[in-house]
Amino acid sequence: MSKEILRSVSSGGSMVVIHLAAFGAALGLSAQAAALARANEPEPLFIFLAIGLFALVMLGLRGFFVVNPNESQVLQLFGHYVGTARQPGLRWTNPLFTRVKVTERVVSLQTEHLKVNDLDGNPIEIAAIIVWKVTDTAKATFDVDDYRRYVLVQSEAALRNLATRYSYDGHDEGHSLRGSTSQVVEHLQTEVQERVALAGVSIVEARISHLAYAPEIAQAMLQRQQASAIIAARQRIVDGAVGMVEMALERLSRNKVVELDEERKAQMVSNLLVVLCGERGTQPVINTGTIYQ
C-alpha cells in the first residue's frame, strides 16, 4: 500500500522572476552574437549560450502549475512517486515531474435504489447518501484504479450487506432498518469506511435516503402493519379498561359504598368492559328490578 509524502515545492512567483531574467540574458546574448556576425567576427560561444538559455527557459515553463484550495498535485518522476504538493497558489517544481490532480473537496454520492432481501427474507428497496473526501492522495492515485468508482461500488456493497443483517420492521428482540435509524446509520458508516480505507478515503457521513418494501409485497405489508397497529391499540385499550375496573372495585370496597357479591361484581365488570372497550357510544339501560330471581 502507498503512503502519502508531503513535498515542498518552490514558489511560482520567484521562479517567474528567474525565468524572465534568464530569458532576458538569452535575448542579450542573441543580440550580441548577431552584432558580431554583422561585423564579420562571429562568436559561436555566444550562439550556443543563447540557444542553451532559450532551451532551459522553455523547459522550465513546464514546471509551473497551480494548486487550487482543497486540491493536491501528485508528483511522479519516471513512474516513481516523489510526493504530493498541497500548498495552494502558483508553484514550480522539476519540469520532468508528471503531475496528477486529486481533489480533496467533500463529495456526496447517492446510490441507486437497490433491491435486496432483509433479515426476514422480505424484498425491500434501499438507497443511501454517502459523504466522503480523499485524505491520502497516494492511496487514491496508486492503490485503486478509479477511486471515485471504487467508493461507489463499495458503498453499494456495504449497503446490501447492511440490509441483510436487519429486518425492515422492528422486533422486540432486536433493531430494525425502520425503527433503529441511529444504529443502522452508524453501522453503515463504519462498514463503508472499512471498505474504502484502501483508497485513502474518509467517510464524513452516511444516511439512508430511501427505504421501502418492494412493489410486489408493499400492499400485503401495509395490511400487516395496519393489523399490527390495530392489535396494539386494542391491547392498550383492554389494559386500560381492566385497570379502571380494578380501581373502581377497589374504591367501592374500600369506601364501603356498596357491598357486592361475586355475581354483581361479574356483571359490573362485564358492563364496564363493554363501555370502555366498545368502538361506539353505549346506550344505558336502567334496571328497576333485581338480578336475582
pLDDT of residue 178: 82
Residue 206's pLDDT band (boundaries 50, 70, 90)?
A: very high
Q: Enumerate the β-bridge partners of residue 101.
A: 73
Residue 197's pLDDT band (boundaries 50, 70, 90)?
A: very high
pLDDT at 80 over 60: yes
Kindly report, residue by residue over 152-193, the tens digit of the pLDDT: 999 999 999 999 998 887 655 567 888 888 899 999 999 999
Q: How far is it, in rounded angstroms, from Cα 140 to Cα 72?
A: 12
Q: How far is it, in rounded angstroms, from Cα 74 to Cα 97?
A: 9
pLDDT of residue 160: 93
Neighbour count for residue 139 (Cβ, 10 Å): 21
Cite the beta strand spans of 78-221 per DSSP E.
Answer: 80-85, 89-92, 98-103, 107-110, 114-117, 123-134, 201-213
pLDDT of residue 282: 58
Q: How far is it, in rounded angstroms, from Cα 279 to Cα 234?
A: 10
Residue 292's pLDDT band (boundaries 50, 70, 90)?
A: low
Cell representation of residue 20: 524572465
pLDDT of residue 196: 93
pLDDT of residue 13: 83
Instruction: Cite the DSSP H helix spans in the chain.
Output: 12-38, 44-60, 137-138, 147-165, 181-196, 215-254, 262-277
Residue 275's pLDDT band (boundaries 50, 70, 90)?
A: low
pLDDT of residue 14: 84
* pTM of the shown model: 0.68
Report the pLDDT averaged over residues 191-196.
93
pLDDT of residue 225: 66
> Alpha carbon of 224 to those of 50, 183, 249: distances in Å?
88, 25, 37
pLDDT at 124 over 90: no
Start-to-end CA span in the chain (Å): 95
pLDDT at 41 over 70: no
pLDDT of residue 107: 93
CA dihedral sign, ordered 5, 11, 16, 19? negative
Query: Which residue in the block uniquely carries the three cell numbers 375496573?
Result: 245
pLDDT at 195 over 90: yes
Query: Which residue in the block uniquely carries the three cell numbers 336502567?
Result: 286
What percentage of residues in the chain have a pLDDT greater than 70? 76
Report the pLDDT averaged over residues 139-164.
92
Query: Which residue in the block uniquely carries the three cell numbers 418494501?
Result: 213
Lowest mean pLDDT among 119-133, 171-185, 221-235: 221-235
Kindly report, residue by residue over 11-34, the tens digit of the pLDDT: 888 888 888 888 888 888 777 777
Q: Residues 138, 3: contact at Cβ < 8 Å?
A: yes
Q: How far is it, in rounded angstroms, from Cα 184 to Cα 167?
A: 11
- Kind plus residue range of the DSSP H or E element containing 187: helix 181-196
Q: What's the whole-number average pLDDT of the chain?
A: 81
